[in-house]
Structure 1
Amino acid sequence: MTDALTDLLDLLDLEQIEENIFRGTSRPSLVPRVFGGQVAAQALVAAGRTVPADRAAHSLHAYFLRTGDPGAPIVYSVDRIRDGRSFTTRRVVAVQHGHPIFHLSASFQTWEEGLDHQAPMPPAVDPETLPTAAEALPAYAGVFKDPDTVRRLLHARGAVDLRYATVPPWGTVGEPVEPRSQVWFRTAGKLADDPLLHVCLATYVSDMTLLDSVLLAHGRGGWAVGDVVGASLDHAMWFHRPFRADEWLLYDQESPSAHGGRGLGQARIYTQDGRLAITVIQEGVVRTPRP
Structure 2
Amino acid sequence: MKAYVFPGQGAQFPGMAKDLYESSEEAKRLLEKANEILGFRITDIMFNGTDEELKQTKVTQPAIFLHSVVLAKISDSFKPDMVAGHSLGEFSALVASGVLSFEDGLKLVSQRAMAMQKACETNPSTMAAILGLEDAVVEKICNDIDEVVVAANYNCPGQLVISGSHKGIELACEAAKEAGAKRALPLPVGGAFHSPLMEPAREELEKAIDSTVFNKGICPIYQNVTAKASTDIDEIKENLKIQLTAPVRWTQSVQAMVADGATQFIESGPGKVLQGLVKKIHREAEVDSI
Q: When the two structures are superposed, what TM-score results if normalisation uses the length of structure 1?
A: 0.23
- Higher helix proportion (structure 1 or 2): 2
Larger fraction in strand: 1
Q: Give the TM-score normalised by the residue count of structure 2.
A: 0.23
Compare relative contact order (CA 8 Å, sep 6+) and give the higher one, 1 or 2.
2
